[in-house]
Amino acid sequence: MYNKYIASLFYQCGTMKLDRVQITRFRNLSSVSFSPSPSLTIIQGVNGSGKSSLLEALYYLGFGRSFRTNKHGSVIQHDEDAFSVFSSCKNDDGDVLKLGIQRSRNESFTCSINGQHSTKLSDLVSLVPIQLFTPQSTDLIIGSPAERRRFCDWGLFHVKHQFQLLSAQYAKFLKHRNALLKQQANLMAPENQYWESQFSELGERLTETREEYVSGIVPIFREYAKEFLPNFEVDLSYYKGWEKDLSLSESLVKKRDYDGKIGHTSSGPHKADLRLKVNGVNAQELLSRGQLRMAVAALQMSQTRLFNTATQRKSIFLLDDVGAELDADKREQFIDGLLDMDTQVFVTAIESSQLAFIQKYNEKKMFHVEHGSVKEE
């Protein structure tokens, strides 16, 4: 019943924007309440004031975790047992959706959706499509393939409703196969044949889903790459995680002895990657740090547009310390592009001069954060 309730909300809520946010016992934010703009919200304050913590709290609504630490306990205020982030959201018709998350030191958590409680994070995060740009966002290009798989899978989670189940099933079969390999079991034995065939089938389906999604992003990305990196020939492609001329089952047979030696599976979509080439070479070998940020911005803009088109919904974008990461023209270009797509944008900055161009936006709100308190300017 609860899943049906979430599904009904999903289709009713359409373009929901955060309308009122309440944060308690989160880092230096003891009790904060503010009403952001449905368009552009600027959060200013000196280093250590709590402005990044405010974005981090919002991020919990869309991911159930932090982008700054793996330890939930470290964001809970000293001597407190739990933190909470709640928000009321509104769509264009004035419909209201109330949602939130509370996490405790003992790792337990509760999601709340219109007063109904759930311990399934996906129930909450499916309703709050949040993306993030920070000084560490270049990891999307220079980091491990896992970063780029996460990028793809965010889009798939929000666009393809069966993706989460397919991904979870594949992970379960991968775990089982790796356990057999560690035990040096005979994968050809009759009792293991079912697992092998299911693993191959799920892997092929997962790959097909990802390839279809990436093929939707590529033409949009080319457009944005011309805008953000006009002096380069930029190409985006998907590597499926095994030799392109083989099926997954053929690759598994070919690598069986090798996998047995190393004790884990070396072929499959868990090894997939998004490959970004610039003038025919890997992007990280040619682009400067500033240009890498531009490439990340182009990827995120592409994903935002594809999300909007595929779901008829709009996303929420958090830009942390954007002044340190992008020069003034590109900063403006990025924010303009997001606002043109009706994205709800939150931007942190240390100095007003970093965002001199924001005067042109009519529908904006500015907040000042100091010693963990938030005041509208």
- 97 with 227, same domain: the answer is no
Residue at which a domain ends, from 255, 290, 311: 311
The CATH number of the domain holding residue 217 is 1.20.1050.90
List the CATH number of the domain containing 105.
Answer: 3.40.50.300
> In the numeric block, which tokens belong to residue 291?
């240009």
Indicate whether 86 and 178 sit together in one domain.
Answer: no
80 and 161 both lie in a single domain: no
What pLDDT shows up at residue 8? 56
Neighbours of 255 (CB within 10 A): 18
Strands 82-90 and 40-44: unpaired
Rounded Cα distance, 117 and 69, in Å? 25
User: In terms of domains, do 279 and 148 share one?
Assistant: yes
Domain span including residue 55:
2-129+313-376
In this prediction, residue 2 carries a pLDDT of 47
184 Cβ neighbours under 8 A, 6+ residues apart: 260
How far is C-alpha 286 from the geometric centre of its chain's CA atoms? 26
117 lies in the same domain as 247:
no
- Pair 111, 199 in one domain: no
Partner residues linked to 98 by β-bridges: 88
Q: Are residues 352 and 214 both part of a single domain?
A: no
What is the pLDDT, as a whole number, of residue 354? 66
φ, ψ (nearest 5 deg) of residue 331: -55, -50
Distance CA 262, CA 258 (A): 6
What pLDDT score was predicted for residue 67?
95
Q: How many folded domains does the chain comprise? A: 2
Does 48 share its domain with 122? yes
Four-point Cα dihedral 282, 163, 316, 287, nearest 10? 0
Are 116 and 154 in the same domain?
A: no
Question: pTM (2 decimals)?
Answer: 0.93
**pLDDT for 54-70, tens place per residue?**
999 999 999 999 999 99
Given a cut of 70, the residues of the chain with pLDDT beneath it are: 1-14, 324-325, 350, 352-354
**CA nearest to 47, candidates 337, 370, 322, 288:** 370
Q: How many CB atoms are located within 10 Å of the residue 113 CB? A: 18
Task: Let me know whether 98 and 162 are in one domain.
Answer: no
CA–CA dist 189, 142 (Å, integer): 41
Choose the final residue of a domain: 280, 311, 342.
311
Q: What tokens were used for 61? A: 């609504």
Bridge partner list, 234: 278
Q: Are residues 159 and 300 in the same domain?
A: yes
Yes or no: say if 29 and 372 are a contact pair by the CB < 8 Å rule: yes
In the sheet that holds 109-113, the strands lie side by side as 29-34, 17-26, 82-90, 96-104, 109-113, 116-118
Task: Give the end of a domain, one of 311, 335, 364.
Answer: 311
Is residue 155 domain-shared with residue 267, that is, in the same domain? yes
